[in-house]
Structure 1
Amino acid sequence: MSEPHPTIAIDLVLDRHLTKDVLRAILHSILFHRLFGTVKPKTFEILDVTMPGVADPDMESLIDEKVDAFWKGVDGGVSKSGQIIVTFSEKKPKKTTWFQVYAGEEEIPWEQWIISAEIRQPKSDQDRQTFDANLASTLTNSLRTMLTHTSSERGRMAVPLITEAQSISPFPIKMVVKVGGVDVG
């Protein structure tokens, strides 16, 4: 039996003003490290932390859609925390049986990133400074996690053989937003 796919967790504590920007930057950074086509880079500056991104209209649209869904879920709901789950998969033919000649394709995950975010509001200026310093440290550590994982033996071995290089990603990418354990958007 094969080993399950790697799952990488990133935990964030955000304030209302930076939530969308931070989530966009984190998602862009993950894609920057996991897209295998020709990537036009861009950068995000958040609290003096420079994060890589991808200047691709389709990827930007996908990220904006998921960040907006997350925001609507936490802004209007009771829960002030949620997750954005990014899954990279490969398409493989379904296993055939004696009675089926072609059963179609299925997506088999090879890596998953779970970004958990909780929204809190600093209560004073002193609290804000501490909050911002902690967030900057968390963003730096998140980048370190991305780099360490994607350059590690396990991170490299997780990537399936690339057989098609027509687009920016030869693999299906799925992003799911959950707020309070319920899929949103």
Structure 2
Amino acid sequence: MNAAHPTITIDLVLDRLQTKEVLRAMLHAILFHRLFGTIRSRTFEVLDVTMPGVDDEEIKQLVEDKVDAFWKGVEGDANKRGQILVTFSEKRPRKSWFLIGEEEIPWEQWVINAEIRQPSERERQKFNSDLASTLTKSLQTMLTHASSEGGRSAVPLITNAQSISPFPIKIAVKVGGVEVA
């Protein structure tokens, strides 16, 4: 991918018990701020942090599949680290003499770097407090970026308002630098 599009990175250190819940909420929050069709909203409560989400069956299934893929990938990985990449693209006519059709050009990417740890019972309260603070800062990052001039200008012209997203969305899961299904 080229560096012409904004890349927003969010770093999370997660407790194994809350990994799926936190990742599900994070993906929903990103999609909530970047879907431009008519959506029904919902909320996720994670460690007393209210996060926005999208109440759409197709989106829910996509998020569940990717969170499950992440979980299965890190379960088999010794260092318990991985990434979830959410890429928003636009379709443009292919500019080639030999190939006809459309190509997807990324206009924004969100990278969630996640590391899973197992805090002791003594550490759990501070760990949860730190994670709640990180989630709050992540929401502020999302809001700041989506409402900033740079965040607004990254969005291409919307030419199709028939679906929940006028742009292709790709969510990739990587563990150990390798994409997992």
User: Aligned partners of 2:143, 2:125: CA distance in 1, in Å?
Assistant: 27
Instruction: Describe the SS at the equivalent of 2:16.
Output: coil
Query: Residue by residue, what CA displacement relative to the aligned partner does 1:145-183 show, whole Å, maximum 9, x if unpaired?
Result: 000000000000000000001100000000000001111
For 1:55 and 1:124, locate their aligned partners in 2 and report how far apart those are by CA, in whole Å. Answer: 35
1:33 is aligned to 2:30: no
Partner of 1:182: 178
Q: 2:164 aligns to what?
A: 168
Partner of 1:83: 83
How far is 1:3 from its partner? 7.2
Match of 1:43? 43
Equivalent position of 1:124 in the other structure:
121
Tell me the SS of whatever aligns to 1:17.
Answer: helix
Quick check: 1:29–1:53 contact (8 Å CA) kept in 2? yes
Q: 1:145 aligns with which of 131, 141, 147?
A: 141
- Rounded Cα–Cα distance in structure 2 between residues aligned with 1:153 and 1:14: 32
Q: Trace 1:56-95 onto structure 2 (pairs within 5 A).
A: 56-95=56-95
Structure 2 segments unaligned to the other structure (5+ residues): none
Q: TM-score, normalised by structure 2?
A: 0.97
Partners of 1:48 and 1:111 lie apart in 2 by: 29
Deviation of 1:76 after TM superposition, in Å, equals 2.3
Identity %: 69
The number of aligned residues is 180
Between the aligned partners of 1:76 and 1:86, the Cα distance in structure 2 is 23
1:79 and 1:179 in contact (8 A); partners too = no
Listed one character per residue, the Cα deviations across residues 39-89 of structure 1 (whole Å, up to 9, x for unaligned) are: 100000011000000000000000000000000011122230000000000
Distance 1:41 1:27, change over 3 A: same
- Indicate if the aligned counterparts of 1:42 and 1:55 stay in contact, CA closer than 8 A: yes
The aligned counterpart of 2:112 is 115
Structure 1: how far apart are the matches of 2:64 and 2:124?
A: 26
User: How many angstroms apart in 2 are the aligned matches of 1:105 and 1:51?
Assistant: 35
Query: Who is 1:16 aligned against?
Result: 16
**Which residue type is aligned with residue 162 of structure 2?**
Q
Counterpart-to-counterpart distance in 2, 1:3 and 1:177: 20
Tell me the TM-score normalized by structure 1: 0.95
**How far apart, CA to CA, are the structure 1 residues paired with 2:134 and 2:3?**
29
Q: Distance in 2 between matches of 1:141 and 1:58?
A: 28
The whole-number CA distance in structure 1 between the counterparts of 2:22 and 2:121 is 21
